[in-house]
Structure 1
Amino acid sequence: MKNNKIYLASGWFNENQERRVAEAEKVLRGMGFDVFSPREHQNPHLEFGSIEWRQATFDNDIDHVEWCDFVFAIYDEEDAGTMMECGYAHKCGKPVIIYHEGDDIVNLMLTDSLTAYFKTFDEVKAYDFQAMKHKPYTGSVI
């Protein structure tokens, strides 16, 4: 299957974010995708926050954005790292898929660079990731 490798961009710094990213990991893997989720690759052998940890974590995440076929990003509770990963993926020519449960207005830098926009995991499950057709965001932007 082409378009099989996913970089899952998301914060996981509170209960809501943790729930969403864990559900996304489960749904996407259940669909047969090879998912790289940064929260599962935090270099526990290095001291958290140290220069070595920061460099290893950054390099690993960048390497996996380059490795993936597309980025699946969770927009809810906007996370600066997630936004950077989306921008980098777009610059690398990778499709960016946005998952957004909330009703807040989405930043135009994402709406105008995304490949597909979803509100529910049922929509995600119904999407043809092999064709990767444009499914635009149609709401208001900031």
Structure 2
Amino acid sequence: MTSVYLAGPFFDDEQIARIERVEKALAANPRVANVFSPRLSEIPGLTMGTPEWATQTFEMDVHQIDQADVVVALVDFVGDQVDSGTAFEIGYAFHSKKPVVILHEKDTILNLMIAEGLHAYLREAESLAAYDFSTLPESHYSGKVI
């Protein structure tokens, strides 16, 4: 059974709806043991934006990436601009030799660093419910890059 770290922005209603669909799809996947979603893992008693909150959140998220078997990352942002936190999580996972499964639902150009660093490329959140996380089949992005 696979442990998943879910990376993606959740700053507005559209992003929250997207990440909720992904959480639901991953929960339906019989090969996924658990999902760490930073959206659902705020540290109680800390005020968002404070130095203490930033340090503890950073340390928690990096630890969770270290513990995960795979990182699933949402790369649909505003235009072609990647969320910097999600980009960090993807880069950290890649450097840590963790497979990165990218979900790219919008019809935007992908950044070359994301396109070259991914292990699997998916276009629909619902496909995560059936993705074989035990064998991690590879698939690649073949569109334009920036």
Q: TM-score range by the shorter chain?
A: over 0.9
**Change in CA separation of 1:102 and 1:139 when aligned onto 2, cut-off 3 Å:** same
Q: Which amino acid aligns with 1:86?
A: I
- Give the structure 2 partner of residue 88 of structure 1: 92
Greater length-normalized contact order (CA 8 Å, ≥ 6 residues apart): 2
**Change in CA separation of 1:25 and 1:123 when aligned onto 2, cut-off 3 Å:** closer
Matches within 5 A, 1:34-53: 34-53=34-53
Q: Secondary structure at 1:112's aligned position in 2?
A: helix
Q: How many Å separate the matches in 2 of 1:127 and 1:30?
A: 10
For 1:100, which of 94, 100, 104 is the aligned residue?
Answer: 104
Q: How many Å separate the matches in 2 of 1:122 and 1:88?
A: 25
- 1:123 deviation in Å? 3.1
User: Normalization by structure 1: what TM-score?
Assistant: 0.94
User: Normalization by structure 2: what TM-score?
Assistant: 0.91
- 1:124 deviation in Å? 2.7
Matches within 5 A, 1:1-142: 1=1, 4-32=2-30, 33=32, 34-77=34-77, 78-142=82-146
Aligned length: 140
Structure 1 spans left out of the alignment, 5+ residues? none
Identity %: 40
Q: Which amino acid aligns with 1:97?
A: V
Q: How many Å separate the matches in 1 of 2:92 and 2:8?
A: 14
Q: Which amino acid aligns with 2:56?
A: A
CA deviations 1:27-64 (Å, max 9, x no partner) are 10111420000011121311221111111100000000
Q: How many Å separate the matches in 1 of 2:15 and 2:43?
A: 20
Q: How many Å separate the matches in 2 of 1:71 and 1:65?
A: 7
Q: Which runs of 4+ in 1 moved over 3 A?
A: none
Structure 2 spans left out of the alignment, 5+ residues? none
Cα contact 2:21–2:126 (8 A) shared by 1: no
Q: How many Å separate the matches in 1 of 2:26 and 2:131?
A: 12
**Change in CA separation of 1:136 and 1:108 when aligned onto 2, cut-off 3 Å:** same
